[in-house]
């Protein structure tokens, strides 16, 4: 399913990798990591989800190791943040908007590629989520933080990706997947993520839970 020309797909991938890599490098700065740590977090954030997907579906060697641009893009993001991190921090809101755009793009392309390699629709949705959010999980684990994907005090991240990936799966089943409808699915995930950021939407916790969890502590009711 070639929804875009190879050239367009390549540049979309690089754009998504770059914005994710910037978020990884910024976390490294906040953690006071050196430049090697910055490059590592930038690389795993930008490439981790796609690398995991390719290994699971058997698309080997993964694209991250067959295209030099995929490896150089996180390094470019590292250089940018290394020298300009105060300025990048000041436009953090804009970075989060681009991150949301990357989320929408990768949940779509991840789902499509997984299905093209023979996975069923449900498994393809899972791979779409893994493509969009896997790099962020690896980033947080390496930075010794609870992954944002699992934290109740962060705006929903997985839900928009799942919605976008599910929309793609339904379009595939209906035989209506094309460049326009896949773009609409990516836009759906993008808008849901922006709304979550704007209105602080969070996933519900356990029903009638008896503890009140705060950052770094837990008190029993």
DSSP collapsed to 3 states, 6-68: HHHHHHHHHHHHHHHHHHHHHHHHHCCCCHHHHHHHHHHHHHHHHHHHHHHHCCCCCHHHCCH
Domain membership of residue 212 (yes or no) is: no
For residue 151, what pLDDT is reported? 80
Report the distance separating Cα 69 and Cα 121, nearest Å.
Answer: 30
Token pair for 70: 């995929």
Domain membership of residue 213 (yes or no) is: no
Domain membership of residue 85 (yes or no) is: yes
The domain containing residue 140 runs over which residues? 6-202
Domain membership of residue 114 (yes or no) is: yes
Report the distance separating Cα 154 and Cα 66, nearest Å.
Answer: 35
Q: pLDDT for 2-33, tens place per residue? A: 566 677 778 878 888 998 998 899 889 989 99
The number of distinct structural domains making up the chain is 1
Domain membership of residue 221 (yes or no) is: no
Distances (CA, A) of 193 to 34, 44, 92: 31, 22, 15
Token pair for 205: 């916790």
Domain membership of residue 217 (yes or no) is: no
Q: pLDDT for 156-215, tens place per residue? A: 889 999 999 999 999 999 999 988 999 999 999 999 999 999 999 888 877 877 655 554
Domain membership of residue 220 (yes or no) is: no
For residue 218, what pLDDT is reported? 45
Please answer whether residues 202 and 26 qualify as being in contact, where contact means their C-beta atoms are separated by less than 8 angstroms. no
Torsion of CA 185, 183, 106, 87, to 10 degrees: -110
Give percent of the chain with pLDDT exceeding 70.
92
Instruction: Quote the longest CA-to-CA distance of the chain.
Output: 57
Q: pLDDT for 54-74, tens place per residue? A: 999 999 999 889 999 999 999
Q: Kindly tell me if the per-residue pLDDT of 219 is higher than 50.
A: no
Report the distance separating Cα 66 and Cα 126, nearest Å.
Answer: 24
* Burial status of residue 33 (CB atoms within 10 A of its CB: 0-12, 13-18, 19 or more): middle
Domain membership of residue 219 (yes or no) is: no
């Amino acid at each position: 399913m070639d929804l875009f020309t190879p050239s367009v797909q390549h540049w979309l991938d690089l754009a998504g990798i770059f914005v994710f890599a910037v978020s990884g490098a910024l976390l490294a700065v906040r953690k006071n990591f050196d430049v090697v740590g910055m490059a590592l977090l930038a690389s795993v954030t930008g490439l981790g989800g796609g690398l995991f997907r390719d290994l699971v579906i058997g698309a080997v060697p993964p694209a991250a190791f067959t295209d030099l641009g995929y490896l150089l893009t996180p390094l470019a993001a590292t250089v940018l943040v290394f020298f300009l991190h105060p300025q990048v921090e000041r436009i953090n809101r804009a970075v989060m908007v681009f991150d949301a755009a990357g989320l929408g793009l990768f949940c779509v392309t991840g789902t499509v590629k997984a299905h093209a390699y023979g996975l069923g629709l449900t498994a393809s949705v899972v791979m779409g989520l893994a493509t969009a959010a896997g790099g962020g999980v690896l980033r947080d684990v390496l930075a010794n933080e609870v992954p944002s994907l699992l934290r109740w005090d962060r705006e929903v991240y997985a839900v928009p990706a799942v919605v976008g990936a599910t929309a793609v799966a339904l379009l595939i089943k209906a035989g209506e997947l094309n460049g326009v409808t896949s773009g609409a699915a990516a836009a759906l995930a993008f808008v849901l993520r922006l709304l979550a950021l704007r209105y602080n939407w969070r996933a519900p916790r356990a029903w009638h839970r008896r503890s009140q969890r705060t950052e770094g502590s837990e008190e029993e009711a």
